[in-house]
């Protein structure tokens, strides 16, 4: 459940004629008189808003103190931070409610038609990622639930209308970090022993590509994939370094993953009619926030506000001790950014999305 896609610059593919900002504004203008912009969110703990609360045996949960201590009402909602997620903040900027967790509205067509959030803490691209959390919604599970969502909405508004809804909706996908942090980088799990790194990378990319194809077949046309951030710099990984520094090898793997995803998105846009899939390069902004926290109003970025035990998971347990000023810390626990960091990252993403020229994802070195 790591920091992986706090959002930065996005990359416009060569085959896409409309920049994302124009796409969103055009879509919002067309729908303004009738309904709100509809978004469907897929991902892991960075974007979860409470699905795992409904999984009785899940160990990947954030429905207890001190999670939510700075959320409206000071209530733990299942968000893996002390307050809002980046998605919450982006939704507010778009003028729409933050989509509800899917498992809270599974058969409610009136709620589903407004968009929902399928994200689940511990989820990965691969179905065996996060197995030790017992229960979580893998990316495949989330896509299956989107298919059910479409069926439920179809029963209410009909085939043509549901297809139009899906084609016009925005799909946000942020996933892949757990495939490293809670899979390949764990020495006691099978994937790290079964595959060479190149084999594992190929498996990730080929699986993700097929998952994107399936979303397209289900009606997704406008999709943003948030690339991974510098996983080697999150607190759960830094403790593995004798000097507490970022793990360079992990970061290089992330850069390679991001580069490969960007390339296959370009290919999909060229091969799939009307596809407008985009890669949001999260890496540079997150790395800058970690390397230069004072430039953003923070003091500490190498450890977390909540004094967590990384040997037993790195989450902020009810008996954990909190820092005195939560706004001083980039990280809330060993994996996730604080509410204050999410606000900075969301603001940067939003302003970049609507004003700055596109950038190309850096390559490993």
| Each residue's pLDDT tens digit, 318-345 | 999 999 999 999 999 999 999 999 999 9
* 333 assigned to active site: yes
pTM reported for the whole predicted model: 0.90
Tell me the β-bridge partners of 170: 39, 222
DSSP H or E stretch at residue 10 = strand 9-11
What pLDDT sits at residue 24? 52
What pLDDT sits at residue 353? 67
- Residue spans of alpha helices (H) in the chain: 20-31, 86-94, 109-112, 139-157, 159-168, 177-179, 190-194, 197-217, 235-238, 248-271, 283-291, 339-355
Give me the chain's average pLDDT, please: 89
CA distance 326 to 324: 6
CA 144, distance to chain mean position in Å, is 18
Q: 99: closest CA among 41, 55, 164?
A: 41
- Residue spans of alpha helices (H) in 272-337: 283-291
Alpha-carbon separation of residue 138 from 52, 120, 141, 219, 314 (angstroms): 11, 7, 5, 20, 21
Domains of the chain: 9-355 (3.40.50.1110)
For the segment 233-260, the average pLDDT, to the nearest whole number, is 96
ω into 320 cis (within 30 of 0): no
* 44 assigned to active site: no
Question: Given 45, 91, 169, 177, which residue is catalytic?
Answer: 45
Question: Given 301, 333, 338, 339, which residue is catalytic?
Answer: 333
Residue 6 in this model has a pLDDT that exceeds 90 = no
Q: 346: closest CA among 299, 286, 298, 258?
A: 286
β-strands 276-281, 9-11 pairing = antiparallel
Residue 9 in this model has a pLDDT that exceeds 60 = no
CA distance 171 to 119: 12
Handedness of CA 333, 334, 337, 340 (dihedral sign): positive
Question: Given 44, 336, 338, 339, which residue is catalytic?
Answer: 336
Model pLDDT for residues 58-116, shown as the tens digit of each residue:
999 999 999 999 999 999 999 999 999 999 999 999 889 999 999 999 999 999 999 99
Residue 13 in this model has a pLDDT that exceeds 50 = no
């Amino acid at each position: 459940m790591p920091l992986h896609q706090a959002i930065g610059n996005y990359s416009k593919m060569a085959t896409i004629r409309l920049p994302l900002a124009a796409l969103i504004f055009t879509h919002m203008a067309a729908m303004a008189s009738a309904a709100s912009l509809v978004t469907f969110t897929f991902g892991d703990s960075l974007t979860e808003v409470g699905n795992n609360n409904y999984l009785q045996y899940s160990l990947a949960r954030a429905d207890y103190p001190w999670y939510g201590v700075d959320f409206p009402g000071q209530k733990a909602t299942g968000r893996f931070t002390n307050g809002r997620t980046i998605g919450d903040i982006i939704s507010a900027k778009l003028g729409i409610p933050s989509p509800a967790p899917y498992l809270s509205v599974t058969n409610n067509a009136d709620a589903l038609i407004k968009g929902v959030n399928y994200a689940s803490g511990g989820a990965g691209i691969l179905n065996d990622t996060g197995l030790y959390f017992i229960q979580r919604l893998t990316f495949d599970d989330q896509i299956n639930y989107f298919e059910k969502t479409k069926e439920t909405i179809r029963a209410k508004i009909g085939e043509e209308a549901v297809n139009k809804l899906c084609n016009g909706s925005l799909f946000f996908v942020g996933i892949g970090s757990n495939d490293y942090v809670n899979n390949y980088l764990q020495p006691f799990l099978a994937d790290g022993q079964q595959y060479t790194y190149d084999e594992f990378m190929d498996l990730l990319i080929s699986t993700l590509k097929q998952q994107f194809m399936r979303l397209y077949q289900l009606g997704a046309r406008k999709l943003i994939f948030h690339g991974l951030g510098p996983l080697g710099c999150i607190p759960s990984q830094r403790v593995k370094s004798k000097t507490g520094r970022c793990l360079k090898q992990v970061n290089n793997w992330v850069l390679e993953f991001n580069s490969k995803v960007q390339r296959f998105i370009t290919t999909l846009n060229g091969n799939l009619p009307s596809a407008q899939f985009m890669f949001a390069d999260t890496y540079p902004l997150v790395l800058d926030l970690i390397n230069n926290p004072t430039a953003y109003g923070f003091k500490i970025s190498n450890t977390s506000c909540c004094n967590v035990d990384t040997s037993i998971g790195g989450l902020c347990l009810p008996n954990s001790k909190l820092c005195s000023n939560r706004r001083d810390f980039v990280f809330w626990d060993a994996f996730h950014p604080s509410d204050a960091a999410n606000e900075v990252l969301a603001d940067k993403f939003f302003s970049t999305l609507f004003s700055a020229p596109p950038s190309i994802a850096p390559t490993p070195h």
